[in-house]
Structure 1
Amino acid sequence: MKLNIVPARTGFVWVKLGVRTFLRQPLALTGLFFMYMAGVLVLSQLPFVGTILGAMLVPAATLGLMAATAEAASGRFPMPSVLISAFRAGRQRARAMLVLGVIYTLGSMLATLLASAMVGEPNPAAAADTQNPALDARSLVALVLHTPLIILFWHSPALVHWHGVAPVKSLFFSAVACFRNLGAMLMYAATWLGVFVIVAFLFSSVGMMLGGVAVARSVMLPTVLLLVAMFSTSLYFTFRDSFDAEDLPQIEAAPPGESAP
């Protein structure tokens, strides 16, 4: 496995490839993304363990969405079974993916607890008030504390699945790849931020003109979800270009109609 150093402008290319690939198979990729979201919602309804199980499956779900993008990028229709790709690559790699899930869950819980300790838990009345500054501050601190976790897990599910890297090593390699390609990652983040802001402004403005705040909100929800689905489609390209692909399945080289191994 070899790390590739890419120029900063590649971050913009990753966004463009993600949008282009999404538009090739919009129904399939949207459907897979909503299947993942539905699965998380169902798990969250389970008492006591629902949230933990949902967090444990984040690395595997991320890999599933990346595998779906790889299929779409090669001209194939991604089937629903691609979402469980992490558990179809043999017992050893499935176990490694579950280990990643445990590490992610513990890291997320730690970040959330630290945010609560730093800002404090809002009382029930404050929690019901979405405009409460303490609640917003706690969410912001939690997001900042999750940033190192995001960096560690950005490439790790794909490294475990496609390169057979051990879970802990995959976290290290993921962080190194993100920092060595920091310019491209910052361009990638800035481009997506610009896309979200521009699209949100346009659609919310249209909604306000058509019927006020209620219509604007009803328009914005599906729009944001579609943008997040597009964003998830672009993740594969950040991995593909950051590492030597010699160990990857023959996703792009396989002739149309043949399945990648």
Structure 2
Amino acid sequence: MNKIPAREGWNWVKRGFALFRKQPLGLAALFFGYVLITVALGLVPLVGKLLSYLLVPMFTVAFMQGCANAEAGKRVHPGLLLTGFRSPHSATLFKLGMVYLLLAVLAIAASTLVDGGLWLQILLNQVEQEAIDPKTSSVGAAILFTAFAQLVTFVLLAFTGPLVHWQGMGVGKAVFYSVVGIFGAAKSFAVFALAWFGISAIIGQVVALIFGRTQMFQTVLIPVSLIYTIAAFCSFFAVYCTLFGAPEAEPAKPVAADEA
């Protein structure tokens, strides 16, 4: 792997915004489609949350394919949400989903070291969250620990789904190359992460200065935050292209003879 300069991290951020500008509606549709699926699954106690972890690689593949289409000037459409399910490597993607699920469970289990298992009991509906005093318990710290652990895990595995789908790797090989690829570009990735944290903080401060801590602040901040969140997802496609090479866009559907 060639040495990647630290400044490339900022280029990834810029390319993420450029990709989003190419087809904002299509990429937003993919993003919100997945969000709606996740919310619907969340309505099913416990099992729904577990299923949402299994589908993470499927969404990653779908969104990356959308970015590949946008990059190539092809249409980004909601049907791309099924890309992972239609992939010849769909079985491997489901196995990869099991890895996500296992690591998420391990993160929750590790949080018991922080609060003695209260957060786990809440998740299992053994204790009502309202019955716990946030001032005297460490549930908040356990939730933050779990969220941080899962965030780190998801970032390190960010390219596993595309590596399986586009390059036909097995689960172990995809995990290895995703983690090694990120650590191999550690300086660039540090700039990349700091840039996105900085953008988030600056946008929040600017909106607060303009509108104050009013209802309008939330009204404006939410859609703006969604825009740069989608752009951040797009920027991971730029990282993938740098580390592993640009993938192909979704092939155009053949035109029927009577339509030609």
**TM-score normalised over the length of structure 2:** 0.85
Letter in 2 for 1:28: G
Runs of at least 4 residues off by over 6 Å: none
**Structure 2 alignment gaps of length 5 or more:** 120-127, 255-260
Match of 2:61 in 1: 63
Deviation string, structure 1 residues 170-209 (Cα, Å, up to 9, x no partner): 111111101111011111101111111111111233332x
CA 1:39–1:132 in 2, change beyond 3 Å: closer, same or farther? Answer: farther
Match of 2:228 in 1: 227
Match of 2:242 in 1: 241
Query: How well do the aligned residues superpose, as a CA RMSD in angstroms?
Result: 2.4
1:101 aligns with 2:101: no
Match of 2:3 in 1: 5
SS for the counterpart of 2:44 is: coil
Alpha carbons 2:114, 2:138 under 8 Å: kept: no
SS for the counterpart of 2:6 is: coil
How many pairs align?
Answer: 245
Residues 1-261 of structure 1 mapped to structure 2, 5 A cutoff? 3-90=1-88, 93-120=89-116, 121=118, 124-125=129-130, 134-208=138-212, 212-245=213-246, 248-249=247-248, 251=249, 259=252
* TM-superposed deviation, 1:132: 8.1
Deviation string, structure 1 residues 197-255 (Cα, Å, up to 9, x no partner): 111111233332xxx4332223222222222111111111111110144xx33x3xx9x
Moved more, 49-58 or 214-223: 214-223
C-alpha distance in structure 2 between counterparts of 1:48 and 1:115, whole Å: 17
CA 1:240–1:101 in 2, change beyond 3 Å: closer, same or farther? Answer: same
Moved more, 99-108 or 197-206: 197-206
* TM-superposed deviation, 1:84: 1.8
SS for the counterpart of 1:154 is: coil
C-alpha distance in structure 2 between counterparts of 1:76 and 1:32, whole Å: 15
Deviation string, structure 1 residues 124-167 (Cα, Å, up to 9, x no partner): 237686x8883432222113322552244121111101110101
SS for the counterpart of 2:138 is: helix
C-alpha distance in structure 2 between counterparts of 1:40 and 1:233, whole Å: 19
CA 1:8–1:126 in 2, change beyond 3 Å: closer, same or farther? Answer: farther
C-alpha distance in structure 1 between counterparts of 2:132 and 2:160, whole Å: 34
C-alpha distance in structure 2 between counterparts of 1:101 and 1:13, whole Å: 30
C-alpha distance in structure 2 between counterparts of 1:244 and 1:4, whole Å: 12
Deviation string, structure 1 residues 24-50 (Cα, Å, up to 9, x no partner): 211111121111101100111123411
Alpha carbons 1:10, 1:184 under 8 Å: kept: yes
SS for the counterpart of 2:74 is: coil
Match of 2:122 in 1: none
**TM-score normalised over the length of structure 1:** 0.85
